[in-house]
């Protein structure tokens, strides 16, 4: 882990399903590492969402993408699965910050409500919103999976390791 100029270590959590991790997620991760000393990418079990990839595979895909990113991103970021209340996960990991990405105004209302509820559950944990970069505003895991299933090219939307595994997974589904 690369130490930033602070005596106290600021631990942030970037939670999500990451099914699969996209370039938009990676952009938020890169930028989040600038504002915390240690970033935990919390991969939610979220069986209710019916993910394409299991939680262990999603964790592995994020870890591989982080290694490929290198530098401070890889050095100060770890990946952990979680199936508990986010605020409990934050407290268990000593996090004082939740990082959330916003793509559009439509994301804001849900995220605003969630941040308010989380603040009531854990008042010492702050939620920080990072706006998606202009290149990533419309990228979502759901769209990536849908485009890939219909034979579209998602190369620019996901890290190389994810593209490879996504194609393999879709081939397995056809068998």
* CATH number of residue 113's parent domain: 3.40.50.620
Binding-site residue ranges? 17-18, 25, 49, 86, 100-103, 111, 136-142
Bridge partners, residue 39, by sequence: 12, 77
User: In this predicted structure, what is the pLDDT of residue 58?
Assistant: 97
Q: Which of 92, 94, 131 is closest to 111 using CA atoms? A: 131
Q: Report, as an integer, the average pLDDT of 43-69.
A: 91
Active site residue 49: yes
Distance between CA atoms of residues 148 and 128, nearest Å = 31
User: CB under 8 Å to 121, separation ≥6 — which residues?
Assistant: 85, 87
Sequence-ordered strand ranges (E) for 6-59:
11-16, 38-44
Q: Report, as an integer, the average pLDDT of 79-107.
A: 93
Residue at 2 is within a domain: no
User: In this predicted structure, what is the pLDDT of residue 72?
Assistant: 82
Angle at Cα 169 formed by Cα 136 and Cα 44, nearest 5°? Answer: 60
Binding-site residue ranges for substrate? 17, 49, 86, 100
pLDDT category, 17, cuts 50, 70, 90? very high
Residue at 80 is within a domain: yes
Query: Which residue in the list 4, 31, 80, 103 is annotated as catalytic?
Result: 103
Query: Which residue in the list 38, 58, 95, 141 is annotated as catalytic?
Result: 141
Active site residue 124: no
Residue at 117 is within a domain: yes
Worst-scoring range by mean pLDDT, 26-35, 116-125, 129-138, 141-150?
129-138
Domain ranges, residue 71:
11-174
Active site residue 141: yes
Total tally of structural domains belonging to the chain: 1
Distance between CA atoms of residues 169 and 154, nearest Å = 14
Query: Which residue in the list 49, 67, 88, 124 is annotated as catalytic?
Result: 49
Binding-site residue ranges for ATP? 17-18, 25, 101-103, 111, 136-142
Worst-scoring range by mean pLDDT, 88-97, 108-117, 142-151, 157-166?
108-117
pLDDT category, 8, cuts 50, 70, 90? low
């Amino acid at each position: 882990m690369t130490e930033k100029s602070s005596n106290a270590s600021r631990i942030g959590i970037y939670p999500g399903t990451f099914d699969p991790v996209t370039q938009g997620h990676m952009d938020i991760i890169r930028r989040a590492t600038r504002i915390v000393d240690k970033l935990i990418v919390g991969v939610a079990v979220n069986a209710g969402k019916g993910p394409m990839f299991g939680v262990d595979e999603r964790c592995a895909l994020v870890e591989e993408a982080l290694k490929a990113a290198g530098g401070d991103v890889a050095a100060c970021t770890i990946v952990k699965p979680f199936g508990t209340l986010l605020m409990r996960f934050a407290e268990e990991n000593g996090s004082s910050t939740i990082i959330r990405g916003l793509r559009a105004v439509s994301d804001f209302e849900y995220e605003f409500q969630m941040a308010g509820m989380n603040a009531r559950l854990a008042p010492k944990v702050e939620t920080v919103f990072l706006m998606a970069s202009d290149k990533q505003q419309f990228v979502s895991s759901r769209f990536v999976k849908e485009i890939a299933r219909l034979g579209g090219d998602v190369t620019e939307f996901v890290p190389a390791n994810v593209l490879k595994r996504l194609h393999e997974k879709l081939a397995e589904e056809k068998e």
